[in-house]
Amino acid sequence: MLEWREFPYNLTVKIHNDIDGMRAALAQAAQALYTATPNPRVGCVIVRDGDLLAEGHTQPTGFAHAEAHALQHAKQQGIDVRGATVYVSLEPCSHHGRTPPCADALITAGVARVVVAVEDPNPLVAGQGLARLRAAGIQVELGVLADEAREMNRGFLHRMQHGRPWVRMKIAASLDGGTALQNGESQWITSTQARDDGHAWRARACAVLTGIGTVQQDNPQLNVRAVETPRQPRRIVVDSHLEISPQAKILQDAVGWIFTAVEGGARADELRAEGHELIVLPDDNGKVDLHALMKELGGREINELHVEAGFKLNGSLLRAGVVDELLLYLAPCLLGPAQGLARMPVLEHLSDRLAFRFHEVGQVGPDVRLRLMRSTP
């Protein structure tokens, strides 16, 4: 059977069962991968007797959700969807937000059955959409390809449940864990293919975060260049002492968010004059409070945060326990004495180690790509 990532984007495909239907819905959701933020990436298809009648996916903020988009598609084609089955990758909304409730639109359209992958944890929805459908006499099924649907929307679901973004830390390293030579040289350890793949992960994120050390050492742009994207993610710098130059590449052609621990000063005035935003969140040690930073980003509707930083900030984020996923590219080489993945404290007991679990292993060009998820007790 086809995986949802391979499901054809056309209406000639026959839907034989609920798995096929949800794969088609998830394939639609994938079309909103770079454009839905801060909304979830949702796909919807409408089926009758195995025939795909209409399809839709989340439109940019303020425009139609997936269900409304699919219903619009059906209307444009002159198709009556009464009695049809709807496959949608996330529970239809039940509240008036930027757009009207999708649950009401499905009820008005007269569909007979709605198959949903996962419930929406948004407190404004949280089962109310499903309840409204059932109250209207519509048959509702929940849980088809739930894991795949959660993978599509890790950031949104995590923000709704925990109030902060899903944090994915990307690291490129040698087999012995080196990310840069002791003199700081790091370009390039991994291949062009791995770097291009990293840009694709940047593109799907709402924001890219780095530290002042990386800005001063490498002066990166940290935008998306290697793959096509309809938007650039927000760029964020953690700079406790506000040392960043307004001429830094990461601040060019984009409004940056700079998290710092100091108030005021000429540098702050200059940065603000250039349109950049400074967010002052000091901890007790005169550094940026990383937990407060994550809560702030959650409040700003950042779903997925992509981290590309040096070993110092990597270590701080890992020690703070705010990293949910490691995106690790390993090159088939050894660097010997070098800067490591992250600056971590010396442990006295193995039980104190920071544990992850393998989620996905694959090869990108000559390099290996590992995705690891944080293990929970």
Question: Which residues does the annotation mark as catalytic?
Answer: 67
**Residue 283 to residue 326: CA distance in whole angstroms:** 25
Do 152 and 113 contact (CB within 8 A), yes or no? no
Judge residue 48's burial from the number of C-beta atoms within 10 Å of its C-beta, 0-12 exposed, 13-18 middle, 19 or more buried: middle
DSSP β-bridge partners for residue 87? 45, 115
Do 244 and 263 contact (CB within 8 A), yes or no? no
* Cis bond before residue 257 (omega within 30° of 0): no
**Residue 88 to residue 65: CA distance in whole angstroms:** 11
- B/e letters for 52-83, b = 16+ CB within 10 Å, e = fewer, are bbbbbbbbeeeebbbbbbbbebbeeeeeebee
Antiparallel, parallel or unpaired: β 304-307 and 166-174: parallel
Query: For every residue of 234-280, which 3-state class applies, written as one string?
Result: EEEEECCCCCCCCCCHHHCCCCCEEEECCCCCHHHHHHHHCCCEEEE
**Residue 376 to residue 373: CA distance in whole angstroms:** 9
The CA–CA distances, whole Å, from 340 to 290, 305, 352, 355 equal: 21, 22, 19, 17
**Residue 72 to residue 66: CA distance in whole angstroms:** 10
**Residue 226 to residue 203: CA distance in whole angstroms:** 10
What's the start-to-end Cα distance of the chain, in Å? 36
